[in-house]
Structure 1
């Protein structure tokens, strides 16, 4: 069964559960209350903040908690219909299957959190607003968060090779936000209980503060990306022959990490590290970087220092600290014969091994000043030949599966002819050139 088939079956099962919840809830709610609740969810989702990759974060859980407390579980369940127009509008940006998935998981999650609140409320005979009532609201909030994250983790698991718990753990820390959300929700109910329409305006204050926090996180996330891309642009302005190389290595490295079931946080680190793996070339003389043809021994010695230079450049940037070892070690080998430090397998993490394999693969399948691009099959064969000594065979096979699945093609475009200064690009595989000219051994 393919990933798409598993995902379709998963969403279909979730949709059936949602339809059952709605069939139970709709007769219990007046149309006026249902319209107001759906409108509240619509507004909340309309102002959602982008969080990571294709994930958006909204304050809908606050709305659901308020609806559970003032109108009961049926009203909270029906409110899920308010998300339908928003997801339908976004269908041009997202796969259509996300419409039934999101609406269905909203309805089922509201059902779970509503029953959690009512169970706690009845168990402790909670009175508004004492500590037992607050405990019931907190239970409802945590139930909402856990259920929501579990459904999302399930969708990722069934549509990819990622393990369910690995995905769930990557979003788990956001459950810490449930405490302030509970405070906002309880404040809203207190205002509603006061029956003062003007007092409802006060509800906007904590809600806007919470949303401002989400937007601040989003802007910080975006600033990280801009900083990394600034480094990449600096590399590629200087290095005429490898423009696009960092982007391709980052894209393929993330695919390989996904193939191996690496969790989201580590995939993000992989992406940053792959984008920045050659940042040390900024410190290598321009005449060496843009030399058409093989480097001599002295020039190659200077080029071998770029991993150490890159690590030094990134040393004081806190959020990039986990990526420094990838930058420092991406030319090391399992047998300890790499450069610049000559460390072996025991010191090379899985992410370093992924980036090392993908970096070599893209270098071989890209036209460079010293040789034309190899075919994908030839490059994979070369990686396999060096497996166990230079490259990790597990990473090589994962890369082979990825390039076959996505239909990766060699990069044959090259800098304009004048950049070659009259030199021609050699023809032949890396091994053929090494056999013909031993002096080029070990060059990038």
Structure 2
């Protein structure tokens, strides 16, 4: 637990204490006869299996069908079974996706599962329903229970991520709402189906229901692995390019990081921010077709050499467009050297006609190029780079985006000073 960030500690303690109190009360109230013990074993096993086999999302992160098991337990069993199933699913999760995770993460997830499940369970209990049934009234109750579980879950995760990542709670909330709503609305009917099958056909029926889900999950995993292999191949091209030019080593990664932070500052969606990161990582991939002599030439380029360099956005587009799921990224790469006043290349687009993603990357690319050492000059300081960016704002670069980057850099410098001062105080004491 020593690695736990300090800002997260109060929330962690509150969640664990709350979950333990709920768990103790629920276990005490539940009559532990054989049917309840059997139900606990069956659904705890399914919940652990579901949580341990997450499905990777195209934009990063994972999703599981664990809520379907929680919901089936909520509408079918006493409090103690529901809460213990939730706790076990968080604590006993296994698999390569969680390998190396700190213990506090499992404990917090278990507590979060218990508290969120209790929110849905309270709705069911307050309605007077004591057994699973499918009637208009019960379905209405189950919908409200799903919403209660979802809102409590999102609220807890939002606060936790805000404390762990230092991000705006508003941005995290909107992002979680966007992903969680379809996930919960899809899994709640699946949970009802699980409850119905278990009620009528027992464990054998559940096995027949879960097997197709596992096969589907395996097929999707194979697709995601193939997709990642495609992306790894393209990123290998970037590494090969940067190996040709020692001065640009790490350039694409730095541009991707700055571009993503600018996208977040603009309030762009998580999906669009991730899209911009992909494009930024690959923005110079077309330089693989530019000779090493030209890339590393210390003096002024000839007209033919400059024309060769200017071809790299189009070459990059042609490389990336061959990968179906990166097709739109190619368009962004093509236009990342367009100038705001129309003097750029290859298509001399003007202002808002240049894709926003390309304009963002252009600003980040310019800043990193100015501050990096090159074969023909030494990199400049941050302040000098900011002065240059201001000078070309409105001509080469989008002035609004230049202002956003300068604000980000200012906040970064302020944060660095605060940390340095705090470190000095710690050393003095």
Tell me if TM exceeds 0.5.
yes
Pair 1:190-2:196 in alignment:
yes
| Structure 2 counterpart of 1:319, from 322, 325, 345 | 325
Structure 1 residue aligned with 2:411:
401
Structure 1 residue aligned with 2:288:
282
| Structure 2 counterpart of 1:176, from 170, 182, 197 | 182
The total of aligned residue pairs comes to 402
Deviation string, structure 1 residues 326-361 (Cα, Å, up to 9, x no partner): 312322333444333333432345533332222122
* 1:241 Cα offset (Å): 4.4
| Aligned 1:64-83 pairs, distance under 5 A | 64-83=70-89
Structure 2 residue aligned with 1:29:
30
**Which stretch of the first structure deviates more once superposed, 92-101 or 204-213?**
92-101
| Structure 2 counterpart of 1:148, from 123, 128, 153 | 153
* 1:272 Cα offset (Å): 0.4
Structure 1 residue aligned with 2:374:
368
Partners of 1:142 and 1:315 lie apart in 2 by: 41
Q: 1:116 to 1:325 in 2, by over 3 A?
A: farther
| Structure 1 counterpart of 2:120, from 113, 126, 139 | 113
Structure 2 residue aligned with 1:343:
349
Partners of 2:237 and 2:148 lie apart in 1 by: 42
Q: 1:401 to 1:93 in 2, by over 3 A?
A: farther
Using structure 2 for the length normalisation, give the TM-score.
0.76
Q: 1:208 to 1:403 in 2, by over 3 A?
A: farther
| Structure 1 counterpart of 2:51, from 45, 53, 56 | 45
Structure 2 residue aligned with 1:249:
255
Pair 1:128-2:138 in alignment:
no
Contact 1:228 1:272 in 2 (8 A): no
* 1:395 Cα offset (Å): 1.9
| Aligned 1:176-255 pairs, distance under 5 A | 176-178=182-184, 181-194=187-200, 196-209=202-215, 211-212=217-218, 215-216=221-222, 218-219=224-225, 222-223=228-229, 225-236=231-242, 239=245, 241-255=247-261
* 1:21 Cα offset (Å): 3.1
Contact 1:88 1:99 in 2 (8 A): no
Partners of 1:263 and 1:7 lie apart in 2 by: 25
Secondary structure, in 3 states, of the residue corresponding to 1:311? helix
* 1:13 Cα offset (Å): 4.8
Q: 1:99 to 1:260 in 2, by over 3 A?
A: farther
Structure 1: gaps (5+ residues) = 408-444
* 1:66 Cα offset (Å): 1.9
Partners of 1:148 and 1:218 lie apart in 2 by: 27
Contact 2:75 2:132 in 1 (8 A): no
Secondary structure, in 3 states, of the residue corresponding to 2:62? strand
Partners of 1:213 and 1:146 lie apart in 2 by: 31
Partners of 1:157 and 1:261 lie apart in 2 by: 16
Partners of 2:14 and 2:357 lie apart in 1 by: 36
Partners of 2:357 and 2:19 lie apart in 1 by: 40
* Pairwise CA RMSD: 3.9
Pair 1:103-2:104 in alignment:
no
Using structure 1 for the length normalisation, give the TM-score.
0.74
Deviation string, structure 1 residues 353-412 (Cα, Å, up to 9, x no partner): 3322221222233332212333444434433444454442222321443477579xxxxx
Partners of 1:343 and 1:196 lie apart in 2 by: 65
Deviation string, structure 1 residues 260-318 (Cα, Å, up to 9, x no partner): 55432122112101011112223445543343433123322331232233234434544
Structure 2: gaps (5+ residues) = 418-429
| Structure 2 counterpart of 1:307, from 310, 313, 318 | 313
Partners of 1:95 and 1:53 lie apart in 2 by: 24
Q: 1:121 to 1:334 in 2, by over 3 A?
A: farther
Q: 1:258 to 1:215 in 2, by over 3 A?
A: same
Structure 2 residue aligned with 1:422:
none
Partners of 1:390 and 1:399 lie apart in 2 by: 20
Contact 2:340 2:351 in 1 (8 A): yes
Q: 1:317 to 1:145 in 2, by over 3 A?
A: farther
**Which stretch of the first structure deviates more once superposed, 106-115 or 208-217?**
208-217
